[in-house]
């Protein structure tokens, strides 16, 4: 083999090594994309689960607010009825400890309804 042939062969081998190195780099990026895309799909599924869970949580908060309003209305009816009956008997209803606590709880029911409404609305903004 002549010097020129040796040189051409060496250049050809170096060229093959360069091409092989580039092919290996491209292969690595191809595999990297597959891994990255699979992770992205996993994140999408997790986001969809979280969104569904948040939606369920918001609905439950609204229901608790509605329950609080309903129980507060029931409490109001009981307090009015107790107050009337106590007055018929000539007793001041405010002297009864349970009645006084009931008035306090009635206010708490109504405040809880409003708090639940605000909480649900704050979570809606997250969506």
Q: What tens digit of pLDDT does each residue of 83-125 get?
A: 999 999 999 999 999 999 999 999 999 999 999 999 999 999 9
| Integer Cα distance of 24 and 95 in angstroms | 88
Confidence of residue 16 (pLDDT cuts 50, 70, 90): low
What pTM did the predictor assign?
0.70
CB 124 within 8 A of CB 57: no
CB 62 within 8 A of CB 116: yes
- Region 1-19 average pLDDT: 62
72-86 pLDDT, tens digit per residue, is 999 999 999 999 999
pLDDT of residue 19: 67
């Amino acid at each position: 083999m002549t010097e020129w042939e040796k040189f051409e062969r060496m250049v050809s081998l170096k060229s093959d090594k360069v091409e092989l190195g580039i092919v290996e780099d491209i292969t690595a990026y191809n595999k990297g994309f597959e891994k990255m895309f699979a992770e992205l799909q996993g994140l999408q599924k997790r986001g969809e689960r979280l969104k569904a869970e948040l939606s369920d949580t918001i609905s439950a908060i609204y229901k608790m607010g509605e329950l609080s309003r309903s129980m507060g209305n029931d409490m109001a009816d009981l307090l009015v009825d107790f107050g009337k009956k106590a007055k018929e008997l000539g007793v001041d209803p405010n002297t009864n400890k349970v009645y006084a606590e009931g008035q306090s709880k009635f206010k708490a029911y109504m405040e809880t309804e409003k708090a639940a409404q605000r909480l649900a609305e704050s979570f809606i903004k997250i969506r």
